[in-house]
Structure 1
Amino acid sequence: MIIFCTNQPSGCESEFKLKELKSHLEVCAFQMIDCMHKERGCTARMARQDYMNHLKIDCQFRVITCINCGEEYTMQEKKDHENSCKMQPVDCPNRCGVTNIPQNKLEEHLKNTCTEAWLTCKYYIYGCEFKGVLKLMKSHMSEFSEIHLEMVSKHTTQLEMKYAEAVRLVTDLQGKMSLMETKYEVTDKELRETKEKCMKNEKLLQNLQRMLATRLDVITELEKKIQSTSNKEEINELSAKLLSEHDAVKNLESKVQILEETRFSVPVGGGGASNIGAAQLNNFHSRITTLDKDVGLHSIRLAEQDLRFQILETASYDGVLIWKIKDLSRRKRDADSGKTLSLYSQPFYTSRFGYKMCARVYLNGDGMGKGSHVSLFFVVMKGDYDALLPWPFRQKVTLMLLDQETGRRHLSDSFRPDPSSSSFKRPVTDMNIASGCPLFVAQSVLQDGMYVKEDTVFFKIIVDISDLYV
């Protein structure tokens, strides 16, 4: 069933099916909508086609920028800001004749250029206490030049004396440093000799430990023989041997204890065992580093595959793109600083085998919208089925910023491609030059909770495919 738009009395001449009424009203130029600054107090209501002019010219709650300091405020706050602006032009309070001085530059003027300002002689650090206006200061500088020279000379003499004293202190410190270096060399030599002795004691300790182990084996055998024999003489003989072995073991144990105390009282560096441990540790570190690199490469490949799956999952094949941009405040800062000038959306299509397209946004504006507007563009991309499609691209394109609060005050703009523009001819590279709206919306709109929620904004791109049969 074909119907007329409900805004026909206002001038809309569109005809469409009944089921398309809701989608048409979302973009209808004659639909009545409220101002985006309604919560701030704006009660204006106007047709969508007059909405942008209202925001730019009529709305008393729109955000404007001070021409002096660059600070943003609403139109209603203009007077209050002008009274408090730090860069508001003022006249010199000393009435020297200079006017239109920014308030934040007034102190610099009074200090350096004002002819009526009260100045201090620049030789005050040398002892001159004269103060006066610029005219008197010039006279003073001329008349007292010799006295100033004497002050500077006296001050220089004092500095030379301090310098001589500093040189003497440096010489003393250099002598002490030389003595410390000599002591360090002697100590280093003694340390090397101690390390060598310690290594020898280490070897001796190992030999004594082997001897002790042998003696312990002998004692164990003797004890077994004592338990197995009943001959008294043999018992006495074995007991005597056992006592002698116990004495030998005690002597060895005392020597081992002395060597162990000597070994642990001196720091030993460069031992064979420590070198082997260090080599093993380096080997483990090398293997761990190699494994980390392999894991990193696999992580990168997984991330690439995940990105491809995300693009495929979010791809649209009906000519409509819903583009969600998260972390808007961070991305806006990157755009303002020039770190990331623009963002590209995921690709979308007019059909499975149709045109391939995407959107591009400049959050800090591009061209004539630089610094003041958000610029939104439409891009025709190189697709797999371009050879089967009619060129140049001729479908109507609608760009929208979605209202997340009521869903009724979307900001939109539409255009039909210029067939002679290279932006809409068959792509020969990955994508054509972007085409769209450099003045899409003012940047102040991105500060409104109606369009930005949870630091996220939604753009919608609609490509008219009603007359497209490919």
Structure 2
Amino acid sequence: MAAGGFDARFVDRLSDRHTCTICLLALREPTVTKCGHLFCNNCVRLLARCGRIVCPVCREEQNESEIYPNNYDKREIMSLKIYCDQQEKGCGWKGELRERETHNETCGYVDVLCYDCEEMVMKKDIENRTKKTCKNRKVECVYCKTTVTFTFLNDHHGKCEMYQVPCEYCKQRVARREMNKHVSKDGTCSYSSLACEFREAGCQFIGNRKALKNHLHYELASHVSLLMKQQSKTKSLLSSTRACLAKRECELENLKLFLTKNITMPVSQPDIFVYEWNITNWSFWCTSDLDNRILSKPFYTGPQGYCLCLRLFPAGFGDFTGSHVSVDVFVHKGDYDDQLPKKQHCKFSFTLIDQQPDAINVVVRREKTVELIPGKYFDATNDFNSRNIEFTILRS
């Protein structure tokens, strides 16, 4: 029973007097009944939960008030010699039962949790594990002094700039970040392949450092010849480049003159320009305030044309309030107004399209010729006699 006596390894055989007949372990807080039998205090109290206490030995019914602690036997039991609970793991401690808890707190054979790898380890080994054997211990890279997890140390070495890697030519180990310098012309590698410094002039020699030194010493005349040929080619290329640049400068000046002459002229407007305005949530606009209006985004009639903006009254405007949809157009301030006529007649065609399911597509179409005057509104619809629709306005 979990709440019963001491489950310990006793040096001498435990006597029957010191054994609880309920849990069969060494008595813990021994109590004596009126019939003279000894039990663990917790064991006999568990019997009391059943409503009546009957001695398991003599079957005599007991009264809970007649059960008393037995300190004499308690002292005897606590003085009994026991082995450490971790005896099988190698602990050789032996002492009195009363010293058990104190010993367990310091016993090196008790299992504790390694917080790096979350495995159970004997307490005496935990320090060595966290420093030397745990796979998740923290270690310092001997090359760059960065702290990394031991499991990922090899991955770190694979990209560590200070890690020593072998040179492919001389096999000497050099820091990764110094390798390019090591095999370069000014480096220390004696076997790396180096190109002749006159390579751009046409010399194709490639060899190790010693061979390159001899090549430069004995091939001086051929290098001078290569430089003379390169100089001749460079002069020819320079002359050709100058001629090409002169031609491009002439073309650029002509283009500037053309743009200067034509940029101030308005670009001719297309015969037909379509602007589509899709208004959603039409039922909301119709049920809102009668003075409500919707503005479109500004748009141009074409490249370098007039800038216009549509204004729509879902509930109508003026005499048509409450019965029609009214639309007018505002000539907005645009970027090209100073290049356009102050007044210009323009023909507008408005098309109202019903987008609801099973509806007639084109509800109504209006055409009107108006005069564009910057900063002025003008009626462009003659008012549409319809309100309960979702629609698109097209201007052409």
Could you say whether these structures have the same fold, taking a TM-score greater than 0.5 normalized by the shorter chain as the test? Answer: no
Which structure is higher in helix share?
Answer: 1
Higher strand share: 2
TM-score when normalising by structure 2: 0.36
- Higher relative contact order (Cα pairs below 8 Å, separated by 6+ residues): 1
TM-score, L = length of structure 1: 0.31
Pair member with larger Rg: 2
